[in-house]
Amino acid sequence: MSGESNAYNVSKYGVVALSEGLRRELAPRGIGVSVLCPGVIRTQIMNSRRNLPKRFEGGLPALPTSGPRAEWINMLRERISQGIDPDYVGELVREGVEKDLPYIFTDLEFEPMIEARFAAIKQGFDHIRGRTPKR
């Protein structure tokens, strides 16, 4: 599921679309493509600044220490610290690749949102069901 950032949303949807396209394109060559759709994984993503090369130090604004954004960051840090074990995710990825699964999910947390999204898409088709397009 996408977040609140449009750029982030586009990149997530783009990776899924690319993976689906590559899967169809490469299947005749015996090459499988799976896309990992992870939930909240216990990683160091909130500490990604640690990887910033020294030449870019000072290039990013400091993270807020108070206010709504700081509270959101702290909530996210806590949620990630209680996230899914990365080794478990690795096992799911291995299994998904071995079984040539198109989608690899880590948990069921976002399934209701996916179902709601597909229901809304289906309503768009239901709206035009029975009509004959003019050609």
pLDDT, position 57 = 83
pLDDT, position 59 = 83
Sign of CA dihedral 119, 19, 86, 44: negative
Q: Read off the pTM.
A: 0.84
In this predicted model, what pLDDT tens digit does every residue of 78-88 receive, in sequence order? 999 999 999 99
Specify the amino acid at residue 19.
S
Cα-based angle 96, 21, 38 (whole degrees, multiple of 5): 40
CA distance 98 to 68: 44
In this predicted model, what pLDDT tens digit does every residue of 20-31 receive, in sequence order? 999 999 999 999
Q: Quick one: average pLDDT of 23-52?
A: 94
CA distance 31 to 49: 35
Sign of CA dihedral 35, 41, 46, 48: negative
